Amino acid sequence: MIARSLLLICLLQLPADALAQGFAGLGTQAEGFAVPSRDYQFSFPDDHGPHPDFRIEWWYLTANLKDNNGRDYGVQWTLFRSALKPGEAPGWQSPQIWMGHAGLTTMDQHFSAERLARGGTGQAGVTSAPFEAWIDDWHMAGSPDLSHIDLTARGSNFSFLLQAESNKPLVFHGQDGYSVKSAAGQASYYYSQPAYRITGHLDLPDGTVEVQGSGWLDREWSSQPLAEDQEGWDWFSLKFDSGEKLMAFVLRSVDGQTTFALAAGSPKKGVLHPLPLDAFTALPLETSEVTGRSIPTKWKLNLPGQDLEITVIALNNNSWMETSFAYWEGPVRIEGSHSGMGYLEMTGYEK
């Protein structure tokens, strides 16, 4: 998930030949930006708000939903913050760039939308008390402890309005929220609320549908999260019918090799237990042609130590986000030793 910072590199659209060093751009050019430290003490509700001294940050919610006829849907709502330089300034002088992405996936359709804004103008931003993250007319707003949030976004041919509730505690990844992302030590601050119950409605070209289901919110911020040779990632957030959760990702290197794979097991007492590095394997089983690219849409996931052997299958192979940089993100179904639903995000699959 941390590798989503790549998205922000893409947002800034560095030329392709600079991209190899572009990782270094995030990794090494953090001059002036704050860097995550192992002994950080989170402080809420402030930490639900923005950290402009860090280079990148996001508020990221995915939801697996069903309508009254049992049809599956997926919704993604993301607000990214990317700083051109550390700190905040008023009005147009603000170095903060905000980007909203919204996705809505049905069994046979996928919709996506994007909004861009500069900080300092009020067009986009995040406040922690009361909690509100917004860009234009899209927002994620609710109680300061995030136990209740409303969520809305709108594209040219779709919109959604959802309410999310959870009485479960937040869970912290890695070492109390300090999440290492590469062997070289790149890291981020990372916590989640993986247990939202969601109700609401989706507006589709064919009409409005009432839906309910579950949601997973990720909060993460950092300044230098990736190693130089990391090219793309495959990120899974899985919710098993047993109530257990699994967050796992694979960072792929430029030559296609797995460079870093990390998995975190079931949440207990607000902690997702990190599993040993490389205890987890993910193998593509099938690929689909999506906008001229070959994208793996069926995966085999293995966690031998946990007796977990599952197949993850895309709900809709065409969950392609047509945003200013494009990637695959959509709901998945889980079969095998465990069953359930989840979300999959894949980037770096170039034409």
Enumerate residues 6+ apart whose C-beta is below 8 A from 245. Answer: 171, 194, 195, 216, 237, 238, 239, 265, 266, 267, 272
Nearer to other proteins, 73 or 233 (CB): 73
Output the CA torsion 244→133→230→19 (10° steps).
Answer: 160
Nearer to other proteins, 93 or 291 (CB): 93
Report the 10 Å Cβ neighbour count for 283: 11
From 70, 90, 256, 276, residue interacting with other proteins (rule: CB under 8 A): 90
Tokens of 82: 């990317």
Q: Does 21 bind other proteins (CB under 8 A)?
A: no
Q: How far is the CB of 114 from other proteins (least distance, A)?
A: 11
Largest CA distance in the chain: 54
Enumerate residues 6+ apart whose C-beta is below 8 A from 231. Answer: 252, 253, 254, 348
Q: How far is the CB of 343 from other proteins (least distance, A)?
A: 24
Residues between 105 and 144 with contacts to other proteins, criterion CB under 8 A: 113, 116-118, 121-123, 134, 136-137
Enumerate residues 6+ apart whose C-beta is below 8 A from 301. Answer: 236, 248, 280, 281, 282, 308, 309, 310, 311, 312
Q: Does 155 bind other proteins (CB under 8 A)?
A: yes
Which region among 56-64, 154-162, 281-289, 329-337 touches other proteins (by CB under 8 A)?
154-162
Q: Tell me the DSSP string of 269-281.
A: TTEEEEPPTT--E
d(C-alpha 261, C-alpha 277), whole Å: 6
Q: Does 157 bind other proteins (CB under 8 A)?
A: yes
Nearer to other proteins, 113 or 262 (CB): 113
Q: How many residues bind other proteins (CB under 8 A)?
A: 27
Helix (H) or strand (E) holding 22: helix 16-28
From 91, 185, 304, 305, residue interacting with other proteins (rule: CB under 8 A): 91
Residues between 240 and 299 with contacts to other proteins, criterion CB under 8 A: none
Nearer to other proteins, 45 or 120 (CB): 120
Output the CA torsion 35→37→42→45 (10° steps).
Answer: 0
Q: Does 33 bind other proteins (CB under 8 A)?
A: no
Nearer to other proteins, 157 or 242 (CB): 157
Nearer to other proteins, 103 or 267 (CB): 103
Residues between 41 and 80 with contacts to other proteins, criterion CB under 8 A: none
Q: Does 84 bind other proteins (CB under 8 A)?
A: yes
From 13, 28, 199, 291, residue interacting with other proteins (rule: CB under 8 A): 13
- Contact present, 265 and 236 (Cβ < 8 Å): no
Q: Kindly write out the interface string for residues 317-346 of this chain, putting x where it contacts other proteins by CB under 8 A and - elsewhere.
A: -------x----------------------
Which region among 6-14, 188-196, 210-218, 337-345 touches other proteins (by CB under 8 A)?
6-14
d(C-alpha 285, C-alpha 181), whole Å: 25
Enumerate residues 6+ apart whose C-beta is below 8 A from 49. Answer: 126, 127, 128, 129, 131
- Binding footprint of other proteins on the chain (CB under 8 A): 12-14, 84, 90-93, 97, 113, 116-118, 121-123, 134, 136-137, 154-159, 203, 324
